[in-house]
Homo-oligomer: A and B are copies of this chain.
Amino acid sequence: MDTTQRTDQQRSADRRRRELLEAADRVVLRDGPGASMNAIAAEAGITKPILYRHFGDKGGLYAALAKRHTDALLEALRAALDAPAERRERVEATLDTYLAAIEARPQVYRFLMHPSDGASPGDPGFDVGKHSAPLLRRMGEELAEVIEERVDLGPDSQQLARVWGHGIVGMMHAAGDWWLGERPCSRAELVRALADLLWGRLAAAGDKLGGPSF
């Protein structure tokens, strides 16, 4: 029959696709995101045009590759987030799940988040994109300094200030990025929402220089 035949072929194609993705995974995790289509094809034991027949272009392949990993990560996060427990516990579990994931497979993480960092520095590969991280890092460090010198955080203040510096900068960055794309509200509203989010322990801590507010 037509349908069974088609199904057979589709199945075979899907299996092939999965094999190719696994090969691509190996190469990308070994050579970094700068891996060439030729290398991936070689790892899979075939040649380039087949990759293109399956995935259209490099973006398609990488998107398929990314989807596998992001889906897995998102599922784990959802589980942690939906667990029946106190809110703070859930939040900590979710944070820990995410951090454990990036800790366990840093290569995957780098592929998903920093696609421009090549692996072999000898290669004349791309290095476009080495700019965002420096900016975020610098902002985080500067903010950490300001926090540490102007806010009384008790013991471990330095560690805490650095974590918060980078965390707050990341919050600002991600929220700003999303806001810039969707423009869901005015700038003032966004600022207020973010400041409100921030106004917890940070607001309760007293100033180091000024009078204690508690």
A42 within 8 A of B: no
A106 within 8 A of B: yes
Residue among B126, B131, B197, B202 making CB contact with A168, cutoff 8 Å = B197
Contact B135 A66 (CB under 8 A): yes
Contact B162 A131 (CB under 8 A): no
Instruction: Find residues 113-166 in chain A having any chain B CB closer than 8 Å to their own CB.
Output: 113-116, 126-140, 142-143, 146, 150-151, 159-160, 162-164, 166
Contact A168 B171 (CB under 8 A): yes
Contact A66 B134 (CB under 8 A): yes
Contact A99 B176 (CB under 8 A): yes
Residue among B74, B137, B164, B202 making CB contact with A139, cutoff 8 Å = B74
Which residues on the B side are within 8 Å of A70 (C-beta)?
131, 134-135, 138
Which residue of A100, A135, A176, A207 has the most chain B CB atoms within 10 A of its CB atom? A176
Contact B191 A99 (CB under 8 A): yes
Given contacts A59-B127, A113-B177, A115-B129, contact A195 B98 (CB under 8 A): no
Can you pick out 14 interface pairs between chain A and chain B where the beta carbons lie within 8 Å of each other?
A62-B130, A77-B142, A81-B142, A95-B190, A126-B128, A136-B177, A160-B193, A164-B197, A166-B177, A167-B175, A168-B171, A170-B171, A197-B198, A200-B202
